[in-house]
Amino acid sequence: MEQTAVKEPPEKAVVTGHRPETIRLKPTRGFSRVLSPKELWRYRDLAFQIAARDVTVRYRQTALGAAWAVLQPVGFMVVFTIFFGNLAGVSSDGQPYALFALTALVPWTFFANAMLLGSESLVSNSALVSKIYFPRIFMPAGAIAAGFVDLSVSLVILTVIVLVWGVVPTLAVLLLPLLIAIMAAAVMGVAAGLSAVNVRYRDVRYVIPFTVQMWLFATPIAYPSSLLDEPWRVISAINPMVGVVEGFRWAFLGSPDAPWALIGVSAASALVFLAAGLAYFDRVERAFADVI
Amino acid sequence: MSDVAIQTEELGKRYNIGVGTRGYDTLRESIVNTAKSLGRRVKRGSSETAEGRTVWALKDVSVTVRTGEVVGLIGHNGAGKSTLLKILSRIVEPSTGWADVTGRAGSLLEVGTGFHPELTGRENIFLNGAILGMRRSEIRARFDEIVEFADMEQFLDTPVKRYSSGMSVRLAFAVAAHLEPEILLVDEVLAVGDAAFQRKSLAKMSEVASEGRTVIFVSHNLAIIQALCQRGILLERGRAVVDGPVGETVDQYLRSLEMGASDDLLDRADRDGRSWRQSQISRLALYDGISGKPDVVVGGRPARIVVELTEILPMTECRLTIVNSLGQPVASLDSELSAPVDTRDSELGPQIQCSIDMISLLPGRYRIDVLLKGRRQIQDGLHAAAFFEVQPGVIGERPMPISGAEGDVVIPHSWRLPVP
């Protein structure tokens, strides 16, 4: 398994040097692999290849290609604007409702797709998991990483739409990487945990679309978080997407007051999601090939 | 050269086959299974727990393999060969004991598992290489070699889903063969591709072996094992029962096959097919078509093979494979390739009969592998379900060669020879 220990005949030496390392394989308990940076580094090329595969495969033989990255949030925006904005008259904190919804739907689409694809990643690659060793965490991680391509495309489109509408984003857009990191950490934890449960109980497959729907309505996407009174508003940010979505609106639409409290709570909560998901994944990873 | 590459100590792998431990596919199955297990518990009292039924796929295996050794793993289906390879390649964890593996281990447990149908050949080479543990730079350095070995330059940018199955196997093996790990774990990969490609693969394998790399090799083809390996380990019910020069291990395996064959076949655990078989093979025997004696047939005479079943299912089909003493298949008899002479008979009872017009085999010992289908599914399968001896006879009025002949088959024929 040791990458640096390839012993080559001198005339075609590609990788040189170290003595081969001995790996002891024995029953393990507790935490073992996922959190071993050395192991992940060894297989870094595989991580890249899996993410590249997921990106390529997603749009190969699709008629619209990367346009799908944009169609999904825009479609939801239209529906939400008609039903919630116009018919139900839901408040949008003084912003044009369409923009209000779209700025939230762009990060949400990333989150929802990453959750769906990440949770299925181990099961849909079961042939690989049962035949070959590699750090299994690359499967959900690769699916999530592939989602960044879509996110980048839709962020560009979002910026264009916002500018065309005549709204000038605030300097807070510089905080977007932080917001995206919060979102990625949360979805990584969720996808790692659910993909691991999915290996044993395929029920997860049916629970996930439902969960995504519930999560959509539990997040202030169609409505503003200001509908909630304090302290419930801040407490609701335990859902990491609350801080992310309100952060996106603040950055792109320049909402009056910065939602620092929401972002702070969501960041802490995302780290808890991440730690819990990875910890569970790590504990059950060793049995994946036995039960998948 | 005398470094230890692999050392295992009391290595064991336990599988729970009890309720609640196998991972249900759907909620419905889960409910059905829970209900069933409740039913069982009521019937038998509460003694049976989920932990109650465990199977040791591997038990107390302690072996040492030195760097540069080429070791063949031999054994029945379910003897633990694949489990041992899976542990050594880190796919599954052992339940007991330990194994030390020194150096990069590459496994060819099933070639082409990493292929994605939507990706092109080129993209798949990189993906599959990475999956097998190669660095990007290594793959790039060997890319041309791989393409040349697979012999498919013109299809590099075609998605693999448009490849024939032979082509994807060739490409997959080519990637795997250029992996160059220090320890190579191989499971039945040479059984793929056409004859020419098999020869090429075999040559590549012996090249790998002669380069001083450690190889652990699993195959049912004892001739290939004997050609490639110096040392053989025989696994039986998860234990390493023989470990020595490959010739001795193969002899021991053949003896154990024959001993197993004389038993009632229902006792055998090493079966193919689903675990919920609706019909099983209970007995299989070959009779001389003239004398009616079992297990012995004179070459050139007719013979009859009788397969007895536990249950008659709709659309029962049967395939018999005659295998020589080196484990090489000689002939396949398949009822699915039907002919006007075949009959279906409701009076026959739970058995299948196969009549052979003429045993055109050279004298020697052969075994019969059998596969039973019913309701369009594989119901049961057994390797070495029966053994038989072909005695020297006459074929087309010509005596069979008794010794020194090559091959396994006698073909009726005639000559025209010149006279000066």
Domain boundaries, chain B: 61-257, 268-399
pTM over 0.80: no
- Say yes or no for a CB contact (<8 Å) between A286 and B97: no
Structure tokens at B245: 């020069």
Structure tokens at B320: 């018999």
| Segment of A126-130, B20-24, B291-295, B359-363 carrying the highest mean pLDDT | B359-363
pLDDT-derived band at B19 (thresholds 50, 70, 90) equals very low
Identify which of A214, A209, A179, A213 has the alpha carbon closest to the alpha carbon of residue A194: A209
Q: Of how many residues is chain B composed? A: 420
What CATH superfamily is the domain B61-257? P-loop containing nucleotide triphosphate hydrolases (3.40.50.300)
- Supply the pLDDT for residue B1: 44
Burial letters for A230-250: b for 16+ Cβ neighbours within 10 Å, e otherwise? eeebbebbebbbbbbbbbbbb
Structure tokens at A158: 């979002």
**ipTM field:** 0.77
* Average pLDDT for chain B: 82
Q: Sort out which chain B residues have CB atoms less than 8 A from A131's CB and list them.
A: 91, 107, 109-110, 113
| Residue B114 pLDDT exceeds 80 | no
B 9-38 near A (Cβ less than 8 A): 15, 22-27, 30
| Residue B39 pLDDT exceeds 50 | yes
- Supply the pLDDT for residue B260: 65
Give B156's contacts (C-beta < 8 A, 6+ positions apart).
Answer: B120, B121, B122, B147
Provide the residue type at B298 as one letter: V
Q: What is the greatest pairwise CA distance in chain A?
A: 75
Q: What is the mean pLDDT of residues B76-104?
A: 87
Of A20-34, B34-48, B68-82, B173-187, least confident by mean pLDDT is: B34-48
Q: What is the mean pLDDT of residues B109-123?
A: 77
Give A286's contacts (C-beta < 8 A, 6+ positions apart).
Answer: A28, A32, A33, B92, B93
Of B15, B93, B99, the CB nearest to A286: B93
Share of chain A above pLDDT 90, in %: 38
DSSP letters of B316-333? -EEEEEEEETTS-EEEEE
- Say yes or no for a CB contact (<8 Å) between B24 and A201: yes
What are the tens digits of pLDDT across the range B231-258?
Answer: 999 998 889 999 999 989 988 888 887 7
What are the tens digits of pLDDT across the range B369-401?
Answer: 999 988 888 888 888 888 898 988 888 888 888
- Say yes or no for a CB contact (<8 Å) between B127 and A127: no
What are the tens digits of pLDDT across the range A151-166?
Answer: 999 999 999 999 998 8
Burial letters for A259-271: b for 16+ Cβ neighbours within 10 Å, e otherwise? bebbbebbbebbe
- A-B interface: how many C-beta pairs under 8 angstroms? 146
| A59 min Cα distance to partner chain B (Å) | 10
B 201-220 near A (Cβ less than 8 A): 211
- Say yes or no for a CB contact (<8 Å) between B89 and A291: no
- Say yes or no for a CB contact (<8 Å) between B95 and A20: no
- Supply the pLDDT for residue A117: 92
Task: Tell whether A283 lies on the interface with B, counting CB pairs under 8 A.
Answer: no
From the candidates B31, B82, B91, which should be mutated to test the interface with A, based on the most A CB atoms within 10 A? B91
Q: Sort out which chain A residues have CB atoms less than 8 A from B54's CB and list them.
A: none
Task: Tell whether A128 lies on the interface with B, counting CB pairs under 8 A.
Answer: yes
| Residue A113 pLDDT exceeds 50 | yes
The residue ranges of every structural domain in chain A are 34-291
Q: Of how many residues is chain A composed? A: 292
- Say yes or no for a CB contact (<8 Å) between B93 and A28: yes
CATH topology classification for B268-399: Coagulation Factor XIII; Chain A, domain 1 (2.70.50)
Of A14, A28, A57, the CB nearest to B141: A14
Task: Tell whether A57 lies on the interface with B, counting CB pairs under 8 A.
Answer: yes
Alpha carbons within 13 angstroms on the beta-carbon side of residue A152 total: 7
Angle formed at CA B412 by CA B406 and CA B413, multiple of 5 degrees: 95
Q: Sort out which chain B residues have CB atoms less than 8 A from A57's CB and list them.
A: 116, 118-119
What are the tens digits of pLDDT across the range B143-199?
Answer: 998 888 888 888 888 888 888 877 887 888 788 778 777 888 887 765 555 667 777
| Residue B44 pLDDT exceeds 90 | no
From the candidates B16, B87, B131, which should be mutated to test the interface with A, based on the most A CB atoms within 10 A? B131
Of B22, B97, B138, the CB nearest to A14: B138
